[in-house]
Amino acid sequence: MSRASETSIFTEMTELARRTGSLNLGQGVPDLDSPAALLDGVSRALLAGDNQYPPAHGLPALRQAVAAHQRRRYGLDWDPDGEVLVTTGATEALASAFLALSGPGDEVVTFDPCYDAYPAGARLSGARLVAAPLAPDGDGFALDADALRAAVTPRTRMLVLNTPHNPLGKVFTRAELAAVAEVCVAHDLVAVTDEVYEHLTYDGAAHVPLASLPGMRERTLTISSAGKTFNVTGWKVGWVTGPARLVAAVASVKQWLTYASGTPYQAALASALDGVEEWAEGLRRTLRTGRDLLADGLTRAGLRPRRAEAGYFLQADVRPLGYQDGARFCRDLPGRAGVVAIPTSAFRVARPDPAPWLVRFSFCRRHEDLREAAARLAALAASQPAS
């Protein structure tokens, strides 16, 4: 499948949702409240005149808040001057990291399936993306350490790790991270980690940054963002922490992409980040309940949701309803049930997709919508396929 047609499945499903009036659980756009004090903080900042370019590395107050957050939560010590960089969302941090640290002739290793910005980043930089499969394991997914080791060649420069993981909702365990770290150290790779769901873990799953493992601090760039943590995906404020030489490399590209952005948002986030734990506790409860509502509807539909211990998404195996192909199921679903989802194959690097029957449903929605979606999905069990 070409890249253009992968992009079009998102467009196609969004259009299908609009045309059929379906509940759109295809996209990961939260329909949930943000902290009132944070929204208030933005208004105050922009009325106070915080409307011009921030410093290229970000407002000092936000860099200090990010450094304090990493120290408080993970015991990682970074200097706000030189080891913290504010970016235009995690997306710009990722693109800048690909461009700064990889190029034609290089290989970048990641895991399959993966967030679609990684193949895009590799295409921008000219590097080859090599994806090691995450293997089905019980009702979830696990690292295949042998596949990871086999994916590394003398041309590998960088490893990109996403934990908690989109689309799979997997949280890498400490043992899995130790195996990843061992590969990075053995092959002298730079690790870039995408931790935008770091606060959204459920059922006692603990997020551990790869940078906190032995030997990893000096070779890891850790990326996160305000979007998912505070339900403000339209603000596009992200950040990178890491050793000064790697942060400087990312900054040298970033300055020619946006230079800097979002002054009043940065100002408000600098205060909000200090109280993030209390906020995130409530958000986790909301999302976990939403996940359970959706999982219940999927189960009643006769589908088999996989375990999701973090993030916004559940994967369901659609074979019990007679489908082998998730894309075909997603095209039928609006007509059969008034719900839109996305085939997990849209996030797959490997061709052919080893598990084309997986479909991704998002639960970052209000509970009344998820209850309605669950009821519509449950009715699937009684209906016959349209095609």
Ligand X SMILES: *Cc1c(COP(=O)(O)O)cnc(C)c1O
Nearer to ligand X, 122 or 377 (CB): 122
Interatomic CA distance for residues 349 and 358, integer angstroms:
14
CB of residue 30 vs ligand X: minimum separation in angstroms?
10
Spatial neighbors of 101 by CB under 8 A, at least 6 apart, are 157, 158, 190, 192, 246, 249, 250
Handedness of CA 83, 88, 90, 95 (dihedral sign): negative
C-beta nearest to ligand X: residue: 89
The residue within the footprint of ligand X, chosen from 225, 231, 241, 315 (CB under 6 A), is 225
Is residue 166 a contact residue for ligand X (CB under 6 A)?
yes
> Shortest gap between Cβ of 119 and ligand X (angstroms)?
13
* Cα–Cα distance measured from residue 29 to residue 312, given in angstroms and rounded to the nearest whole number: 9
Q: Which is nearer to ligand X, 113 or 338 (CB)?
A: 113
Q: Count other Cβ atoms within 10 Å, centred on residue 49.
A: 9
Footprint of ligand X on 82-121 (CB under 6 A): 89-91, 115, 117
Q: Which stretch binds ligand X (CB under 6 A): 131-139, 177-185, 220-228, 269-277?
A: 220-228
Nearest approach, Cβ of 259 to ligand X (angstroms)?
17
Residue 115 token pair: 């967030």
Does 162 bind ligand X (CB under 6 A)? Our answer is yes
Structure tokens at 339: 């719900």
Residue found under tokens 């909301």: 286
Nearer to ligand X, 25 or 337 (CB): 25
CA 14 vs. chain centroid, Å, equals 20
Using rule CB under 6 A, residue 265 touches ligand X: no
Q: Would you say 13 or 380 has its CB closer to ligand X?
A: 13
CB of 339 closer than 8 Å to CB of 23: yes
Tell me which stretch binds ligand X (CB under 6 A): 40-48, 183-191, 231-239, 322-330.
231-239
> Using CA atoms, how far apart are residues 158 and 165, in angstroms rounded to an integer?
18
Residue 238 lies near ligand X (rule: CB under 6 A): yes
Least distance from ligand X to the Cβ atom of residue 253, Å: 15
As a whole number of angstroms, the distance between CA 233 and CA 124 comes to 23
Q: Under the criterion CB under 6 A, does residue 30 sit at the interface with ligand X? A: no
319 in Cβ contact with 356 (< 8 Å): no
The residues binding ligand X (CB under 6 A) are 28, 89-91, 115, 117, 162, 166, 194, 196, 225, 227-228, 233, 236, 238
